[in-house]
Amino acid sequence: MNNAKLVLITGASGNLGAKLRRHLEGRYRLRLLDINPRGDASIVRADLSRWSVEWTERFRQADVVVHLAADPTAHQTWHRVIEPNIDGVVNVFYASVLAGVRRVIYASSNHVMGGYKDEPDPPRITTEIPSKPGTRYVVDGEPRDSTPYGSAKLFGERVGKCFSDSTGLSVIAARIGWVPPGDNRPEDLPTEREAWFRMMWLSNRDFCQLIERCIEADPGIRFAVVNGMSANTGMRWDLEYTKKLVGYEPQDDVARAAHAPKESRP
């Protein structure tokens, strides 16, 4: 264990952070930060939007930083994304460089490409096509718009590229799909959600595998953006680059639950 990589996870008590922590524990040395540790003494309280020696010192000797901390609410105003989703990103990248971290894995979002939801072309959404931040959708009759959230995530990608180009920091930005809290089973997804959302589903185990593959990926990678969804039948999201670059092998498919035989009951 002494030779295991030291991985720092921001947002460690959140939905994604807690799942990743459970997956990595026992195989990596972990440092955990969150603005709200939720009573967990192993998680250091840190408001990453405000520069502080107290939390930046935690970055020292870390091999990899997995930056998951953010306000995860997609239908958000510009005012509310600035500190957690923009200021915090800049501070994390800068702290990583100062501490000599080798790689930052940045949790970007499918909302960076949300503008393609209502456009049939192109048929495949790769990381090569132009970004179109923001998705317009309706939940329980409420119109929602993720443009500020998606734009902030795109900003984070570009900040990562700037730090990579200027300092040599290895950065992988993962455009993470839909990972609901809890067990995150396809049969539990809200039925009223459009196919656009269901087709970007990412299972818990595929999410954890993706991030671990990014942790272990070729150290020569300077900057890359990858899609992060499960192997969902019929989706537009292209995973070939992700598979080739980091060795991702998604195991789950949102369509399997719909076509799986029902259990017989006495």
29-50 pLDDT per residue, tens: 999 999 999 999 999 999 999 9
Which amino acid is present at 62?
A
Q: Enter the DSSP assignment of 113.
A: G
Q: Give the global pTM.
A: 0.95
Question: Rounded distance, CA 89 to CA 87, Å?
Answer: 5
Count of residues making up the chain: 266
What integer pLDDT is reported at residue 8 of this predicted model? 98
Residues in the chain, pLDDT under 50? 259, 261-266
List all residues 6 or more positions away from 230 whose beta carbon is below 8 Å from its beta carbon. Answer: 177, 201, 202, 203, 206, 250, 251, 252, 253, 254
Q: Beta strand pairing status for 223-228 and 142-145?
A: unpaired
What integer pLDDT is reported at residue 14 of this predicted model? 98
Q: Is 33 helix (H, G, I), strand (E, B) or coil?
A: strand
Q: Which two tokens stand for residue 87?
A: 């200021």
Q: Is 130 exposed, middle or buried (0-12, 13-18, 19+ CB in 10 A)?
A: exposed
Instruction: Return the CATH architecture of domain 6-259.
Output: 3-Layer(aba) Sandwich (3.40)
What integer pLDDT is reported at residue 52 of this predicted model? 97
What integer pLDDT is reported at residue 211 of this predicted model? 98
Which amino acid is present at 186?
P
Residue 58's closest CA among 34, 39, 38? Answer: 34
Question: Rounded distance, CA 174 to CA 20, Å?
Answer: 14
What integer pLDDT is reported at residue 191 of this predicted model? 84
Do 135 and 69 contact (CB within 8 A), yes or no? Answer: no
